[in-house]
Amino acid sequence: MKYDVIVIGGGHNGLTCAAYLARARKRVLVLERRHVLGGAAVTEEVFPGFRFSVCSYVVSLLRPEIIRDLDLPRHGMELLPLDGTFTPMPSGDYLWRVNDHEKTRREIARHSRLDAEAYDEYGRSMVEMGRFAKPILAMTPPDPTRLDPRALLELLGMGKRFRGMRPHDRINQVQLLTMSAVDFLDQWFETDVLKATMSASGIIGTFLGVRSPGTAYVLLHHYMGEIDGSFRSWGLSRGGTGAVSNAIGDAARRFGAEIRTNSPVAKILTKNGRATGVVLEDGDELHANAVVSSADPRLTFEHWLDPMELPADFRQGVRRYKFRGSSGKVNLALDGLPNFTCLPGAGPHLRGAISISPSVDYMERAYDDAKYGRFSRRPYIDIVIPSLTDTSLAPPGKHVMSCFVQYAPYELRREGTAREGREPHAGGAVAEWDLQREAFGDTVIDTIAQYAPNIRDLILHRQVVTPLDIERDFGLSEGNIFQGELTLEQLFFLRPVPGWAQYTTPIQQLYMCGSATHPGGGIMGAPGKNAAETILGR
C-alpha cells in the first residue's frame, strides 16, 4: 500500500512534521530505527529503576504554537520548572541565579553592585532582541541569490523591522550575531564567574570557545524562552525528554499517522530524480508520494542516496557541512545527593542547573584542549538532577544525575601522537573514543568531586556517552547534538546547504525536517513544523 508521506526518523522533529502532515489529512508513515521513539529526545531505563534523558535533557524553546496545535499536555507532556543556575567556585564561594529576579539581583550584588544594576539593563535588551529574532524561527529562509519576490519581500521585511528597532537594540542585534559571548557580556558585567556561566550557553553543541566570535547569539535562546514565560518553554519534562517525543508521537497517531519502530532505513528510492519511497534494512520496500528525512544531510544524501543522483555543487555543500561534535554526556545513578562544599546540604540550589564554569579562562582552556584533539582536562559541565523534581525517574531516596560535558571532540587524537591540521571532516582517530571512554568519565567525576567530594561514594552506576556513541546509537553524524554546528555560515539561508534552506532538496518530493535545517537544534520542533508547512504548500 502507498503512503502520501514517509517520514524517516522518529525524533521530535520527525514526529512533529508527521503530526502536522497527518493533521492535514495526509497518510503518513514514520520510520524509527531504534526500539524507542524520540531520537536524541529520549528517556531510557539505562539501569534498573533509573530512567535517564540519555542525550537532550532540558526542553529548550519548544514552540508554543506546537504545544497548542498538537495539544501536547493532553498527550501527557508536562514541563516542570528548572529553577536557576548554581555555579560553585574553587574559592569556596558560589554564584546562584534563580528565576526570581529580585533574588538574583541581590545574589549578583554580593559579587558586584554594578553587575546587579547591569543585570536589569541586560535582561531588558535581551528581551528586545528576542522579540526581533523570534519570528525568524517560524520563517522559511528566503534565497537571497534569486530575484524571487517573496524572498526579497521577506528580506526587506526583516530590514524594516531591523530599522524599526531603537539604535541601541540594533547595535546589540548585530553584536549578538557576530561577537563572542564573552566580548558581548564584557560590555555589561565585570564578575568573571557570572560571565563564564552566562557565556557557557553560547558554546553548547558548537566547536567554539566562549571567546570565539559568533557564540554570542546563542545567549538569546534563553531570553526567547523568557518571552513565553520561562516555565512554559524552558525546563524539565516529567518522565524525561522522551515524554515530549512520546506526546508528539501520540498526537501524530491520533491524527492518523502510522509509526513503526525497529525499522531502519537502508535506502531512499528515487525514480528519474523523484523520491518514490524507501527500502528498509530488512529489504521491505515502502512507497510514498513524498519522503521527509529528519536525519542529518550526511546520512540522507551520502548514505541513503547515491550521491551521483545529486548535482555536484550540492554534493560539495553536503561534504562541507560541518558537524564536529564537541560534547558528551555522563549519566549517573546516585545513592544520594551530592554535597557541595561551598553550599552544603540538599537545598533548592540542587533543583536547578549546576554549572561547572568557574571562570572565563577555565572555559577557554577547556576549548584549547579540544582544538588539538583532546577532551578537556577540566571540562565545562552542566549538571541537572531531575529526580529531585520528578520522583518517577529513580527509586525512593536514589537519584539520577545528568552531566552534559564539553569539550569532547569527535576526532580524538590518539594519546601521545602529534596531530595534523583538522580536516573539514575526517574519520581517522575516531575509534580512539572506545579506548578513552572511561578516562573521559573519570575526568568528569574528578572535576565534580573538586566541588562535591562525596560524589564518588554516591555513584551506583555510570553511563558515559561519547560523541562516537551519539553517532552510533542516535545517528547524529560526528556526534553533533544539533545535527551540524550552529555557526553563522551554517544558519538561516545557509542551513544546511546554500541554496537549499527551504526544506526542499535537489530530489523532487524529498524533503528535510531535522535540526540540520533552519532554525536548528534544541527541542524546539520548529524545523519539523516549518517543513510540514512547506510540504503542504503553505
Binding site for another protein (CB under 8 A): 113-115, 117-118, 121, 144-145, 147, 163, 167-168, 170-171, 174-175, 177-179, 183, 186-190, 192, 208, 211-214, 313, 320, 322, 359, 361, 364, 368, 371-372, 419-424, 487-489, 493-494, 498-499
In angstroms, the CA 376 to CA 383 distance is 16
Query: Smallest distance, Å, CB 408 to another protein?
Result: 17
Q: Cell 535582561: give the residue.
A: 123
Give the shortest CB-450-to-another protein separation in angstroms.
20
Distance CA 204, CA 223 (A): 16
CA 446 to chain centre: 26
Helix and strand counts by DSSP (H, E) for the chain:
18, 19
- Least Å from the CB of residue 487 to another protein: 6
Round to whole Å and give the CA distance between 281 and 450. Answer: 47
Q: Which cell is 237 given? A: 519534562
With respect to another protein, which residue has the nearer C-beta, 83 or 192? 192
Please report how close the Cβ of residue 512 comes to another protein at its closest, in angstroms: 18
102 or 423: CB nearest another protein:
423
Q: How far is the CB of 212 from another protein (least distance, A)?
A: 6
Helix, strand, or coil (residue 159): helix
Q: Which is nearer to another protein, 189 or 304 (CB)?
A: 189
Transcribe 215-281 into DSSP letters: -GGGHHHHHHHHHT-HHHHEEEETT-HHHHHHHHHHHHHHTT-EEESS--EEEEEEETTEEEEEEET
What is the rounded CA–CA span in Å between residue 213 and residue 179?
5
Nearer CB in complex with another protein: 340/493: 493
Closest to another protein by CB, 153 vs 266, is: 153
- Retrieve residue 537's grid coordinates: 504548500
- Closest approach, Cβ 446 to another protein, in A, equals 23
Nearer to another protein, 171 or 266 (CB): 171
3 versus 500: smaller Cβ distance to another protein: 500
Q: How far is the CB of 162 from another protein (least distance, A)?
A: 8
What span, in angstroms and rounded, lies between the C-alpha atoms of 58 and 35?
22
- Rounded CA gap, 9 and 304, in Å? 13
